[in-house]
Structure 1
Amino acid sequence: MHNKFQKMLPISTAVMLSIALPTMAAEQVVKIGHVAPLTGSIAHLGKDNENGARLAVEEINAKGLMIGEKKIILQLDAQDDGADPRQATQAAQKLVDDEVVGVVGHLNSGTSIPASKIYSNAGIVQISPSSTNPQYTQQGFKTTYRVVATDVQQGPALARYAHSAGLKKVVVVDDATAYGKGLADQFKKAAQEKEGLHVLLHEATNDKATDFRAILTKIKKLRPDAIFYGGMDATGGLFAWQAKQLQITAKVLAGDGVCTENLANLAKDATDNVICSQAGMALEKMPGGAEFEKKYLKRFETPIQIYAPFTYDAVYIIVEAMKRANSIDPAKILMEMPATNRVGVIGETKFDEKGDLKAPVISLYNYKNGKKTLLNTVKM
């Protein structure tokens, strides 16, 4: 009996394998890349972006995704660019080598722009959830897309606010990055076109600065009504706080890099003097905002910083292009991108010929007792 069982074993094993193999062959892992700063002073923003993308990947896998006759298992290939342009190009090349079918990222304009050439050369779609510098989509690449408004819209929206609020004298400061300087230049240009609004000075610092007292002392003598700061919350928060310490009463105007839930931890009670913009719809105004926030909090047990809903929708946009193409070939996915017509968490997403949004929105905020509060929504 023992010998009989031994003889039967290879046959039963072969039968089991023949049943299992088709199931295994029908599944395929497909990688979607994500890049953001996961280390450094704005790692909290990078992790927020990654969380949004991860939530989408997990949700799609749970629902099940079929392309052709294969069950697709999505895998998020998450890379850290440290908000550094050189590290960003290394991360981009790593994703190309990993054979991702699309990329959500990068967070910063200063990293998205240099990385975009690598994705373009590889023919892989890149959707930035938060890069606002116009140059990103003006390079002639067919691979670059974004799901936020640009600084050409964000800068003028803040200048319009300053003018309508009766602020007459403004000073401009930027952190010398592609994002910070780009936004500051757009604000300055728009402000100079407003009658009665005067730009007194334009100063530059850097994105690693922690002491702004020399610049602020110079600014205090000019007695401006507002200071525009182009940069991220890690430096913008300190800038606003140090301005208050020096008893500067000017409003601090800033873009989306500063406009985070984390700002109150950095600027302390000086947040109540900040007016900032977001290059997209406010979470509470998004069609799927409330439901997304609930899912996000349940999964990650931390509040949304700013652009997690945008990375979430960006993953879905790539997957929907994959479905239309009925292929996991990056070239075929890319061909379907111009046909994007999604109503998702962030609202309607349609792209123009450059990869920019057709109907961008700017949201303006202030802070009350350290809590970010919506002031106004501007459709561009």
Structure 2
Amino acid sequence: MRKHLKRTVFAATALGFATAFTLPQQAVAADDIPVGILLPLSGSVAPIGINNRRGHELAIEEINADGGIKSLGGAKLVMVDGDTQGNPNVGISEVEKLAQRGVVAIMGAYQSGVTFPTTQMSERLGVPFIDPVAIADSITEGRGFKYTFKVSPLASWYARDQIRFVIDASTAAGSPAKSIVLLHEDTLFGTSTAEGQIAAAKEFGLEVLADISYGKDTPDMTSTVAQIKHLNPDALLMVSYINDAVLVTKTMKELDVNIPIIGTSAGHIDPAYISNLGADADLTLTVGEWNTDLSKTGVAEVAKRFEEKFGVPMNGHAAETYMSTMVLRAALEKTGSTDRDALRDAIAETEICGDANILPYDCIRFGESGQSPEAQLIVLQIIDGKHQTVWPADVAAQSPVWPVPAWSDR
């Protein structure tokens, strides 16, 4: 089952990456355990795929340094890369190739549009598939799959946790929120998220005063922001990429609109949001997957090791790929076998809880659909030019600033 692999080189051709990304040469020895890593390692989203791969790489390095898989005589994990190029059809082909190469499991594939069909192929081939990052509900929900396991939260939980935060923060401040306005770009990302926000607002008793969509290249937001100012909601929930996120904030300052912004990751979590706005970015909020300042044992240490190894800060995607690799390790230790069916059963029974889990909730485990039911988002607030964790309280680095002060008082 285990064969020697030839060296593979992928080019990172995304905008802003002028140099090629070269995967290290890794041969699979007879006693090694090959693990499929399915990510976009070339093409426009290669920088994100490469970053996700780093989480797997760090975890595997640490597992092997700690004696490998002890129940298998210290066998070492070896990554076998499959490059989706960000293309679903290529991803499907790569799953077949990885299965033929004898991988015990596959982890990937970052994009929901690639993860959905590649998990279908993996299911057909009987290869366990762990999804660390892709969030679409449809990856696990309603499919009846047995070989797919999802560590990341569901997409609908982004909206749920935005609403939960608004209620918690406003209640703690002594003035429970009653209303929100939704503002989102008009592609599938924005419209589908808004649908989730509307459903969550209804569930938790908040009134949606307006659901406003706009073209992502809209050059002027004056009339839209003026409308929001007139409605005067308790919070503004946004789904925006970087350019429109910056534009809306600038316009809110110009029109003196003093309403908390809660973004949906994307533009509001992009470092360029802070570099473009400077101090005006402060007090903006956004949901996110993870942060280096989480008040949880082990987080700072893992983040430090990651940055020392790769020269860049660890982010939420890398934290999720790191922990997904630890899930695989736990399952291999549990079953003491590389048989895919036995490993599938072991993953289904795996729980990583407490200090062993650096993600912002207690346990990684899997329900009947393959989804990890405790997975949740955190909320970050930009304070002094840096994203800082402010919710939920049990992992927050500090309390949120709520309500936000007037622009003139900042």
TM-score range, shorter chain: 0.7 to 0.9
Pair 1:291 & 2:294 matched: no
CA distance in 2, matches of 1:150, 1:291: 27
Question: Residue 19 of structure 2 aligns with which residue?
Answer: none
Equivalent residue runs for 1:86-105 within 5 Å: 86-105=89-108
Shift of 1:73: 3.0
Task: Report what 2:18 is aligned to.
Answer: none
Return the alpha-carbon distance in structure 1 between the equivalents of residues 209 and 42 of structure 2. 35
Correspondence 1:222 to 2:227:
yes
Letter in 2 for 1:223: I
CA contact 2:242–2:268 (8 Å) conserved in 1: no
SS of 1:72 mapped into structure 2? coil
| Normalised TM-score (structure 1) | 0.78
**Equivalent of residue 173 in structure 1, options 162, 169, 184:** 184
Q: Secondary structure at the match of 1:223?
A: helix
Match of 1:49 in 2: 52
1:289 is matched by which residue type in structure 2? V
1:240: which partner in 2?
245
* Residue 284 of structure 1, CA deviation: 2.1
- Cα RMSD after superposing both structures: 3.3
Aligned to 1:200: 210
Q: Could you say which residue in structure 2 is the equivalent of 1:74?
A: 77
SS of 1:276's partner is strand
1:218–1:33 distance in 2 versus 1, CA, 3 Å: farther
Q: CA deviation at 1:82?
A: 4.7
Quick check: 159-168 or 270-279, which moved more?
A: 159-168
Counterpart of 1:107 (choices 90, 105, 110) is 110
Instruction: Indicate which of 295, 303, 322 corresponds to 1:312.
Output: 322
Q: Which residue of 1 aligns with 2:129?
A: 126
Task: Report the Cα distance in structure 2 between the residues aligned to 1:323 and 1:144, rounded to whole angstroms.
Answer: 19
1:327 shift after superposition: 1.4
* Counterpart residue number, 1:352: 367
Cα deviation, residue 251, structure 1: 4.4
Q: Look up the equivalent residue of 2:392 and give its one-letter code.
A: T
Of stretches 287-296 and 58-67 in structure 1, the one that deviates more from structure 2 is 58-67
Structure 2 counterpart of 1:153, one-letter code: W
- Paired AA for residue 262 in structure 2: L
Instruction: Give 1:355 deviation, angstroms.
Output: 1.6
Specify the SS of the correspondent of 2:201.
helix
Q: CA 1:59 to 1:194, structure 2 compared with 1: closer, same or farther past 3 Å? A: closer
Partner residue of 1:255 out of 254, 260, 264: 264
Q: 2:61 pairs with 54, 58, 61, which one?
A: 58
- Bigger Cα displacement from structure 2, 318-327 vs 287-296: 318-327
Q: 1:18 corresponds to which residue? A: none
Q: Distance in 1 between matches of 2:268 and 2:357?
A: 20
Deviation at 1:314, TM superposition (A): 0.9
Alpha-carbon spacing, 1:222–1:304, altered in 2? closer, same or farther (3 Å): same
Report the CA distance between 1:367 and its aligned residue. 0.9
Distance 1:72 1:110 in 2: 34
CA contact (8 A) 1:151 1:182 kept: no
Q: 1:228 to 1:371 in 2, by over 3 A?
A: same
Query: How far apart, CA to CA, are the structure 2 residues paired with 1:150 and 1:68?
Result: 33
> Structure 1's 113 and 285: CA in aligned 2 closer, same or farther, altered over 3 A?
farther
- In the alignment, is residue 117 of structure 1 matched against residue 111 of structure 2? no
SS in 1 for 2:248: helix
Shift of 1:289: 0.4
Moved more, 304-313 or 352-361: 352-361
**What amino acid maps onto 1:151 in structure 2?**
A
Count of aligned residue pairs for this structure pair: 346
* Structure 1 position 152 matched with structure 2 position 149: no
Quote the Cα distance in structure 1 between the aligned partners of 2:106 and 2:268: 25
Gaps of at least 5 residues in structure 1 are 1-24
Q: Which has the higher strand share?
A: 1
Taking only the aligned residue pairs, the percentage that are identical comes to 20
Q: Cα distance 1:147–1:271, how it changes in 2: closer, same or farther (>3 A)?
A: farther
Deviation at 1:141, TM superposition (A): 0.8
Structure 1 residue 266, shift from structure 2 partner:
6.6
- On the 8 A contact 1:77/1:95 being kept in 2, the answer is yes
CA distance in 2, matches of 1:263, 1:371: 12
Say whether the 8 Å CA contact 2:37–2:79 is kept in structure 1.
yes
Q: Deviations over 1:44-102 (max 9, x none)?
A: 43333211100111122223335776653322123343544444434434433433211
Pair member with larger Rg: 1
CA distance change for structure 1 residues 38 and 280 in 2, over 3 Å: closer, same or farther?
same
**Alignment partner for residue 34 of structure 2, among 31, 35, 52?**
31
TM-score by length of 2: 0.73
How far has the Cα of 1:167 moved from its partner?
7.1
- Asked if 2 retains the 8 angstrom alpha-carbon contact of 1:261 and 1:306, the reply is no
Per-residue CA deviation, residues 282-317 of structure 1 (Å, 9 max, x unaligned), is 752333201101211121111112221221121121
Using a 3 Å threshold, how does the CA distance of structure 1 residues 118 and 267 change in structure 2: closer, same or farther?
A: farther
| TM superposition shift of 1:375 | 1.4
Whichever structure has more helix as a proportion of its residues is 1
The residue type paired with residue 253 of structure 1 is: I
